[in-house]
Amino acid sequence: MTVEKGSTVLPAVLRFVDVACDALAEAREEIDALNVFPVPDGDTGTNMFLTMTAARDALQAAVDPDAEEPAVLAALARGALLGARGNSGVILAQMVSAVCRRLSRVPEGERAAVTIAESIREATDASYAAVGVPVEGTILTVSRAASNAALAVAEDPASQTADVYAAAAAAAREALARTPEQLQTLADAGVVDAGGRGLSVVFDAAETALTGRRRVAPPSVLGSRRIPMPMPTGDLTAEGPAYEVMYLLDADDDAVPALRGRLLPLGDSLVIVGGDGLWNVHVHVDDVGAAIEAGIEAGRPYRVRVTHFAEQTQAARERRSRVAGRRVVAVTAGPGLADLFESAGAVVVSGGPGRRPSAGMLLVAITECGAAEVVVLPNDPDSVRAAEIAARTAEEESEVRVAVIPSQAQVQGLAAVAVHEPGRTFDADVLEMTATARHARHGAVTIAAKKAITMGGPCEPGDVLGVIAGDFAIVGEDLYDVGVEVIQRLIGGGGELVTIVAGAEDRPANGERLADRWAAYVEEQHPTVDVVVYDGGQERYPLLVGVE
């Protein structure tokens, strides 16, 4: 494969970034648990994941049919720089930026294998240059091993990009396994380097994006510590600075050497990345004010973040000691539905038409439920976006792992929570709940509040509307008859279980509720199908129905 002038690498970059984000999300807890150097604050995996996610968001926002490839790559680099978190996240951002710069200047006729190998080498060189005092046995060592292997393979004229990625990923894994031999802190803890493990995940993702081959995860024991490993005890800052200081800096490039000179004596773990007037500064210090003043002398610091290591490590301990490992947060549209979800162990947030929960309300439920892993069931199409915002915020601010299942109806949420199993892995549980929710066909019956044109034809106020999968598909006059048609359409596609949820307005008529009449209809017309009836208490919708 030859990279001709004017050809595009963006499809491959897009695939890689998506795969890398997913891979880091999956490995995040493991990487956090390995984190003992330079400070055992348990956030390396989270920081690398958030950095890559920020890069992906910037890339997706920049992709446009009319966008020039260099501009899109520059947006990716800038997104990583602006979103970089923590020591390893900042180094990862520098690597991403270096790769983007190299991909933007491919000489005509250069083989793709050479381009990729050179981009990895430049990423490694840039990461070493960004660190104030490079330490071997870390992410830097893993990167150097990967780039050396990539360059060696690229020298073969017959080599392909797949060969380069495979060699780099294999070398990264081998170098990672040797990190305890190079850094005593790792040897004492019985673990490999967390940042190096994160970078190895990224190289594996690059190989997967190109070849489709997924690297088998390492065993659950790395060194002598089980994953996740317990947090160390004692004074974690006695032998190092007490604070992590990070800020973005608008400054001339020629002001950065002096800034490095000012910050180096103040502490350790100094990393300054960026260029062309925009920099991301990271350092561990005792004198926070001096670190910020150095930035002011160099240019304009902003988005300043100061973290006290003792507090951060205590928070990490608390996250690991949460009594409930996983909880479900569900938006409910009525008191009966709330009781159903609570009986299944879920934390409920009141919602429904006209009173849908805000992202802030959902955020409080997620962060205060006391779980390290949270599954959110919005149970309403208009609440999905608020749930996603709350989940993203919770992951960034509280470092809780959150998954939003885009359930569009209460009955989909009930189906999902019925198969919830905390004993499974988080990813497996989310996958099973998501699949179950998606396979639950749903409908409802309501009363038209105004004149309108629907998929079922025009309606007047007071008409009965049958809802199929969120669309007003039936217009009628009788609640029971419309409900029967909704049920019949849903069950026509097959099913083993019909769930009927009675609304607050379903009062007994002639001694029998509508919900019971609908259930009797199903039992009579479809004797092989099971039926369950719940009192949901939801407003505006006398009937909610799901078919599984």
Q: Is the pLDDT of residue 224 over 60?
A: no
Average predicted confidence (pLDDT) for the chain: 83
Give first-to-last CA distance, the chain, whole Å.
49
Which DSSP category does 67 fall into? Answer: -
3 state SS for 318-352: HHHCCCEEEEEEEEECCHHHHHHHHHCCCEEEECC
Identify the CATH class of 10-226.
mainly alpha
Identify the CATH class of 322-439.
alpha beta
What is the average pLDDT across 438-450? 91
Out of 31-35, 269-273, 438-442, the most confident range is 438-442
Q: Is the pLDDT of residue 432 over 80?
A: yes
Q: Is the pLDDT of residue 274 over 60?
A: yes
- Please state, in angstroms and rounded to a whole number, the distance separating the CA atoms of residues 231 and 499: 46
Bridge partners for 376 per DSSP: 329, 404
Top-confidence residue, 268 or 438: 438
Structure tokens at 276: 């062309």
- Residue 32: left if φ>0, alpha if ψ -120 to 50, beta else—which one? alpha
pLDDT cut 70: percent of the chain above it: 88
Structure tokens at 439: 């396979």
Q: Is the pLDDT of residue 323 over 60?
A: no
Q: Is the pLDDT of residue 374 over 80?
A: yes
Q: Is the pLDDT of residue 79 over 80?
A: yes
Q: Binning pLDDT at 50, 70 and 90, where does residue 223 land? A: very low
Residue 532: which of 503, 489, 498, 482 has the closest Cα? Answer: 498
pTM above 0.75, yes or no: no
User: The domain 441-547: what is its CATH number?
Assistant: 3.30.1180
Q: Is the pLDDT of residue 405 over 90?
A: yes
Q: For the segment 2-46, what is each residue's pLDDT rounded down to a tens digit?
A: 333 344 677 888 888 888 888 888 788 778 778 776 666 567 888
Among 287-291, 416-420, 439-443, the range scoring the smallest mean pLDDT is: 287-291
Q: For the segment 116-174, what is each residue's pLDDT rounded down to a tens digit?
A: 999 999 999 988 988 888 889 888 999 999 999 999 998 999 988 888 988 999 999 99
Q: Which residues of 445-474 are buried (b: 16+ CB within 10 A; e: fewer)?
A: bbebeeeeebebeebeeebbbbbbeeebbb
